[in-house]
Amino acid sequence: MNKLEIVKSALQNSMTYQAYFKLTEDLLAEGKTTGPNQSEDYIHYTNLNFHRMKRLDKTVTINTELAAQIQSITVHQTWLVISEAWCGDAAQNVPILQKMADLSENVELKIILRDENLELMDLYLTNGGRSIPKLIALENSTLNELFTWGPRPSTIQNVMNELKAANVTEISEIVEKIQIAYNADKSQSIQIEFLKLLTEKNN
């Protein structure tokens, strides 16, 4: 398939944030997560992520300046997000992306699972890796790509880079340090980055 066909296929497989949330909840009730890796660790992370999403749904507020930019969007578009329930970065960012999309009638957020859509994922690698979440903004009428974002705000990426430079390889330690960084950031970095992205696109 060419790129346009891959994108169309992914959109057909996509779900709303509400459906993604419910899928995560239902899988956890069965002691499962999304994707082929059904390890105890992945299920544990999925459970933590589910509670993070619930908390962010209730607590995140989009700042006034970003809200104004989102509300000034005139092009009908879909924000297609590649995600998985076990992914900590997805749990931290996808609820915020949905809060943004909720502010405009011209923006619809859709989610697809990475491991069921590897053809699309492999078009949007980060430094050669299948890092998620990855957002692809598409103009609805043409499916032209407007912009991309992900897998995490640059401030959080800096923490990850520091951990790699220090040769930290223990997953639990990495997850803990990244979580601390997200807690301190309070969703400000992703909002700053989207304000810049949307300001460039709207002007």
pLDDT tens-digit series, residues 5-47: 999 999 999 999 999 999 999 999 999 999 999 999 999 999 9
pLDDT in tens, 154-200: 999 999 999 989 988 888 889 899 999 999 999 999 999 999 999 98
CA distances from 53 to 22, 47, 49, 146, 161 (A): 11, 10, 6, 27, 25
- Is the pLDDT assigned to residue 202 strictly greater than 80? no
Residue 203's pLDDT band (boundaries 50, 70, 90)? low
Contact 42, 35 (CB under 8 A): yes
pLDDT exceeds cutoff 90 at 113: yes
CB 74 within 8 A of CB 107: no
Cα angle 56, 100, 77; round to 5: 140
The domain locations on the chain are 3-151+193-202
* pLDDT score, position 170: 87
Region 87-104: mean pLDDT is 97
pLDDT at 108: 98
pLDDT digits (tens, 9 = 90+) for 37-79: 999 999 999 999 999 999 999 999 999 999 999 999 999 999 9
Express each pLDDT in 136-164 by its tens digit. 999 999 999 999 999 999 999 999 999 98
- pTM, rounded to two decimals: 0.95
The pLDDT of residue 59 is: 95
Q: Is 105 exposed, middle or buried (0-12, 13-18, 19+ CB in 10 A)?
A: exposed
Residue 48 and residue 94: Cα distance in Å, rounded? 15
* CATH architecture assigned to 3-151+193-202: 3-Layer(aba) Sandwich (3.40)
